[in-house]
A and B are shown apart, each in its own frame.
Chain A
Amino acid sequence: MDSDLSPQDKKDLDKFIKFFALKTVQVIVQARLGEKISTCSSSSPTGSDWFNLAIKDIPEVTHEAKKALAGQLPGIGRSMCVEISLKTSEGDSMELETWCLEMNEKCDKDIKVSYTVYNRLSLLLKSLLAITRVTPAYKLSRKQGHDYVILYRIYFGDVQLTGLGEGFQTVRVGIVGTPIGTITLSCAYRTNLALMSSRQFERTGPIMGIIIDHFVERPFTNMAHMHPCSYRAPGEDEGGTYAGIEDSQEVCTTSFSTSPPSQLYSSRLSYQTPGLGTVDVCHPTACTAAAHPHQMVVPGKEGGVPQVPAQPTHGTAAEHGRIPSCPTGQSPQPAPPTSCSSEVKTVSPSDALETTFTRKVGAFVNKATTQNFQQPLLQSSVSHDASDNNVTTTSLDLPFAAFAPRAYDLEENDPMVHPPPSPAPSSPLQGSLHSNSSTHSVGQPQDDFVMVDFKPAFSKDDLLPMDLGTFYREFQNPPQLASLSIDVSAQSMAEDLDSLPEKLAIYEKNIDEFDAFVDTLQ
């Protein structure tokens, strides 16, 4: 055992292992900085380049490594690990790989410490340089930037590989036998990057409509111990803050999905691994199940998860997200905003207004009047204060909330809340999909839902004396083009056939002309 090792050799070996561990961390982190690394060869030894390799020392990284080691050395049962993970600008994170420096009990007593072990450790570092450019995380790290960053974490003790997902692969970089054990350096990397590859890591513009996590709270980061793989020159603050991540909190849904935000939300859920804490995966489905029958279904590009009517649901991490409030009551939702098509189901007229009726006010709408129900009921939640009957926009879920009309009639006079009684309920369909049947002849408003005219947002009706629906109806059956119309006096088919031989005879006579023409084309 150690008694065979001279004190000098033992001391040297410990020093070699310590600096090998530090250099290993440097190589790994530098390989994930996202830049090409280049160092110079030097024929005259400087004395400070361990293992005869020019590997720069980033002070921050050395500091973290020493902190993790806390004076100990990697040994049997005490592995040093460097975990590389990816974090998106929205706060999602995923472990990509874990590099492990371990030692097992197999000793090589005869090996010379100061020479052979040293040279083999040097060789192992060269192998590490080569292998760090080969694992999948390298390409990802070269493309890091606005959409995501690469983080590293150093820890000491037992190796944790559960965050790498199923089917992770292991590559052994190399081994070096020493008199006190065999040093092994290996890498376990995630292979299930399919989630990542389907996202293009490109920016896409937000679709029209509500961006779900537009107003979400700052995503909770339980990765405070992670560090970004971004090197700041010495002289700057050496705090291990997330350089650049703080700045990219603006929710451009776009992170790396070409799907609309509804898809991003659903696909992000499948993104979460069990190890990442409590994710309220069932959240949208729970809402869906309990949802109001007038739910709007927002079709995504890939037929995605039905969404609660554009209520901003919680964003990234469940534990700090906002709980979406499913609309209560029987508020009808006729024609939707322009960006979404909808399947609006209506309730039967027999559903009584027993439950709380929530007046919904949308952005850009005018105040409702008793005669002219022209406002579309867009989605937002406005809560009543029952005590003083003031309707206020309490929720900040409404985009452009500042534009929402603030002064409302008292609830008693609000026709939306208390629609005038109707003698006979007309067809439920009438009020919803075909509410644009006429602008003015809305007819008797129903007990359960209000007939409104479809008025697309941003449309002006002062230029054209008709709205979009009317325009569409009127021009639905345009007359045929004159050039395409068939002359009634034209010959019938039989006559056409009879005239064919004559035409053929003429063509044959002119065959030379045709041939000349074809020649000119060639």
Chain B
Amino acid sequence: MNCRSEVLEVSVEGRQVDEAMLALLHTILLHRSTGKFHYKKEGTYSIGTVGTQDVDCDFIDFTFVRVSSDELDRVIRKAVAEFKDALGNSGSDGMGQISLEFYQKKKSRWPFSDECIPWEVWSIKVNVVNLANEQERQICREKVGEKLGEKVINIVEVINRHEYLPKMPTQSEVDNVFDTSLKDVQPYLYKITFQITDSLGTSVSTTMRRLIKDTLAL
């Protein structure tokens, strides 16, 4: 099966990186999370309820909706913070990419480790700009807000094509499809990685691979 890949590009000011990334990642995860599954004896299951929350950005004229799960929020914030630090420390001209990959696990026989098969990858390319004065920052606030709105519309458009989604798993296979570690919601298995582009614009001079959800650790 082919992995669906979508690329979003944004140009933001340094202090807007966090919120812009959170906005887009949470919007995607909102659509890729369900309530907790409760399997019943007859092989059926019921699904818990997903709550939502509005989040106002401080540095961008924008409000986004995220799943009401503090645990998930913490995980995403941590990843974004690491990405931002990497952007700051790299000495590059502020270009990088953060990727949210949804995958399925396929059990392999020993001694081979389980395979991770991505079925959807969202790449968010970030270009950090420096602004000279407060007026430019104010304009940037509004412009980035509008841009993020457009990106949300793009995300929604892609998701509503209703292309491949993993089949609903049985109880024994639920961990191959969903991340069941959170107590209130259940997103599809995902991992967040990022890479910083060096100033020459070549892809990946330093690749920093961080596995936020490392279920492969052996």
Residues of chain A having any CB pair with chain B under 8 Å: 36-46, 49, 52-54, 115, 120, 123-124, 126-127, 129-131, 133-135, 138-139, 142, 171-176
Contacts and interface: CB of A to CB of B under 8 A. Distances in A.
B51 A40 contact: yes
B51 A174 contact: no
A501 B67 CA distance: 84
A52 B54 contact: no
B150 to A, nearest CB: 8
A129 B52 contact: yes
Contacts of A176: 162
Contacts of A49: 49
Contact of A127 (B38, B48, B50, B160): B160
B149 interface: yes
Contacts of A36: 53-54, 56, 63
A49 B46 CA distance: 12
B185 A41 contact: yes
Nearest to B47: A52
A42 B65 contact: no
A100 B50 CA distance: 25
Contacts of A38: 51-54, 68
A437 B204 CA distance: 86
Contacts of B155: 130
Q: Give the secondary structure class of A's interface.
A: mixed
Interface stretch (B10-18, B26-34, B114-122, B192-200): B26-34
Contact of A52 (B34, B152, B156, B168): B34
A130 B50 contact: no
Given A120-B162, A131-B153, A131-B156, A39 B52 contact: yes
A115 B44 CA distance: 12
Given A41-B184, A45-B48, A52-B34, A138 B156 contact: no
Given A43-B36, A43-B184, A130 B49 contact: no
A43 B53 contact: no
5 contacts: A37-B52, A45-B46, A120-B162, A129-B30, A134-B149
A37 B63 CA distance: 11
Interface in B113-167: 149, 152-153, 155-157, 159-160, 162
A229 to B, nearest CB: 15
A41 B35 contact: yes
A39 B185 CA distance: 13
A42 B51 contact: yes
Contacts of B46: 45
B61 interface: yes
Contacts of A37: 52-54
A294 B73 CA distance: 70
B58 to A, nearest CB: 14
Contacts of B153: 131, 134, 171
Contacts of B47: 45, 52
Interface centre among A39, A42, A142, A171 (most CB of B within 10 A): A42
Q: Count chain A CB atoms within 10 A of each CB in B46, B48, B185 and give the residue with the most.
A: B48
